[in-house]
């Protein structure tokens, strides 16, 4: 049987005396949030050895990590978390102290068309990693941590009032959020049953650089720049609570190092926007940047058929994280959105690369008949 991990040369790394004592596995590190987490860990902790494991699905892109890929404390492993044998082997070859698990199928619309992929990666893949950690860490769990990165969508949908806290009952509605909820339950079950040292965070919608343009903000930026219709689901009245991705990566760093085992932390920006208001703001920002007349980009707004089971409103109460671990968001949304727009305008090549090939088929199947 071929060695599923043969792409990496562990021996060279083990022999390198500059390598650290603390090994961290980051899964999904070639994706949007994962790449920011990997960058932060590699840059801020030169004594750590960061192993980025990613299957490189359509959402995984090693170009997201060009600036740090040459660093001696970074290593990439191409593997699939659904492959239980590969995960066991990885944990045998590396003595990981920390796991930060972000690998997932992450797009709600894709989960509606293809739910089983979400069950495989988000549920089975997570359980494979839990099993690998449990076996490798058996009888020596001290100082180790399995950090599971989750979403606010597990809590369901809010009306006009209220916020999600860590004790809000789970009520997922989409196949994506159901799969994330299931994985959260497994992580807690491994803590309670096997004593695995785990921590979970549930974060609100992220935005920023390297965000794949199937998600609302980068998709809208790309369409506005190219003068294409901006598809707004339903009446655009749904509310999301947006957080700058680098603030999320910093929260993950804080929780990884100072959080308590068995605990859950909500992460959010206290920054609720109706989709239609957010899109109008983006249009105004881009009118200025592209030297268009005010109002030109807004003419691209096109209301399309609503998403099935579309959650009305998400809002995170992140008081626990602020009071217990001292984390707060650093950026105002208007500033963060402008930075994000500037990044996309300066990185057209990245955008062109990720919107070529399969993306076109995805876009047509998702939007043409909508």
Kindly list the residues in this chain that would bind ligand NAD in the complex (CB under 6 A): 27-28, 30-34, 54-57, 59-60, 80-82, 102-106, 121, 125, 149, 151, 180, 203, 205-206, 212
Shortest Cβ 205–ligand TDX spacing (Å): 4
The item of ligand TDX, ligand NAD, none sharing an interface with residue 55, based on CB under 5 to 8 Å by kind, is ligand NAD
Shortest Cβ 44–ligand NAD spacing (Å): 19
Ramachandran bin of 269, using left for φ above 0, alpha for ψ from -120 to 50, beta for the remaining angles: alpha
C-alpha distances in angstroms, 167 versus 67, 161, 251, 262? 39, 17, 19, 13
Contact criterion met (CB below 8 Å) for 69 and 43: no
Asked if 152 is an active-site residue, the reply is: yes
Complete DSSP assignment for 306-334? PPTT---B--B--HHHHHHH-----S-HH
Asked if 153 is an active-site residue, the reply is: yes
Number of residues counted as binding ligand TDX (CB under 6 A): 16
Q: Which is nearer to ligand NAD, 121 or 182 (CB)?
A: 121
The item of ligand TDX, ligand NAD, none sharing an interface with residue 108, based on CB under 5 to 8 Å by kind, is ligand TDX
Q: Which is nearer to ligand NAD, 100 or 232 (CB)?
A: 100
In the list 49, 148, 240, 270, the residue contacting ligand TDX (rule: CB under 6 A) is 240
Contact criterion met (CB below 8 Å) for 164 and 130: no
Give the torsion sign (CA, 222, 227, 232, 236): positive
Selected catalytic residue, list 54, 80, 105, 153:
153
Give the torsion sign (CA, 214, 216, 222, 228): positive
The item of ligand NAD, ligand TDX, none sharing an interface with residue 212, based on CB under 5 to 8 Å by kind, is ligand NAD
Q: Which is nearer to ligand NAD, 54 or 246 (CB)?
A: 54
Selected catalytic residue, list 48, 147, 176, 265:
176
Q: Which long-range contacts (CB under 8 A, 24 or more apart) does 84-88 make?
A: 84/128, 84/131, 84/132, 85/4, 86/4, 86/5, 87/128, 87/129, 87/131, 87/132, 88/131, 88/132, 88/135
CA 280 from chain centre, in angstroms, equals: 25
**CB under 6 A: which stretch of 12-20, 127-135, 214-222, 288-296 binds ligand TDX?**
214-222
Can you tell me the distance from the alpha carbon of 149 to that of 202, in angstroms, rounded to the nearest whole number? 7
Using rule CB under 6 A, residue 280 touches ligand TDX: no
Shortest Cβ 330–ligand NAD spacing (Å): 17
Q: Which is nearer to ligand NAD, 243 or 300 (CB)?
A: 243
Q: Which is nearer to ligand NAD, 31 or 231 (CB)?
A: 31
**CB under 6 A: which stretch of 51-59, 65-73, 161-169, 212-220 binds ligand TDX?**
212-220
44 class by beta-carbon count within 10 Å (0-12 exposed, 13-18 middle, 19+ buried): exposed
Shortest Cβ 48–ligand TDX spacing (Å): 26
- Residues with catalytic annotation? 152-153, 176
């Amino acid at each position: 049987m071929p060695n599923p991990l043969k792409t990496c040369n562990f021996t060279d790394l083990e022999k390198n005396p500059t390598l650290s004592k603390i090994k961290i596995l980051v899964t999904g590190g070639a994706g949007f949030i994962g790449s920011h987490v990997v960058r932060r860990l590699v840059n801020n902790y030169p004594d750590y050895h960061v192993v980025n494991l990613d299957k490189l699905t359509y959402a995984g892109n090693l170009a997201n990590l060009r600036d740090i890929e040459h660093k001696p404390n970074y290593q990439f492993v191409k593997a699939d978390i659904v492959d239980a044998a590969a995960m066991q082997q990885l944990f045998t070859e590396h003595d990981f102290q920390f796991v930060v698990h972000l690998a997932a199928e992450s797009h709600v619309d894709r989960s509606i068309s293809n739910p089983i992929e979400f069950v495989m990666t988000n549920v089975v893949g997570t359980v494979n990693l839990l099993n690998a950690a449990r076996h490798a860490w058996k009888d020596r769990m001290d100082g180790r941590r399995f950090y599971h990165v989750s979403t606010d969508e597990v809590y369901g949908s809010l009306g006009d009032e209220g916020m999600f806290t860590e004790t809000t009952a789970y009520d997922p509605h989409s196949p994506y959020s159901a799969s994330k909820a299931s994985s959260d339950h497994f992580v807690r079950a491994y803590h309670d049953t096997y004593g695995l040292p785990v921590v979970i965070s549930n974060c609100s919608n992220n935005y920023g650089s390297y965000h794949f343009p199937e998600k609302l903000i980068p998709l809208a930026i790309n369409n506005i720049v190219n003068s294409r219709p901006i598809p707004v689901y339903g009446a655009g009245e749904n509310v999301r609570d947006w957080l700058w991705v680098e603030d999320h990566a910093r929260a993950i760093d804080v929780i990884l190092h100072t959080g308590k085992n068995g605990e859950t932390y909500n992460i959010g920006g206290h920054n609720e926007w109706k989709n239609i208001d957010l899109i109008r703001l983006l249009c105004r920002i881009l009118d200025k940047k592209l030297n268009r007349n005010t109002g030109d980009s807004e003419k691209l707004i096109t209301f399309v058929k609503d998403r099935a089971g579309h959650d009305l409103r998400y809002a995170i109460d992140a008081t626990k994280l602020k009071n217990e671990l001292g984390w707060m968001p650093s950026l105002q949304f208007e500033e963060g959105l402008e930075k994000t727009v500037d990044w996309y305008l300066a990185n057209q090549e990245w955008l062109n690369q990720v919107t070529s090939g399969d993306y076109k088929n995805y876009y047509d199947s998702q939007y043409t008949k909508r």
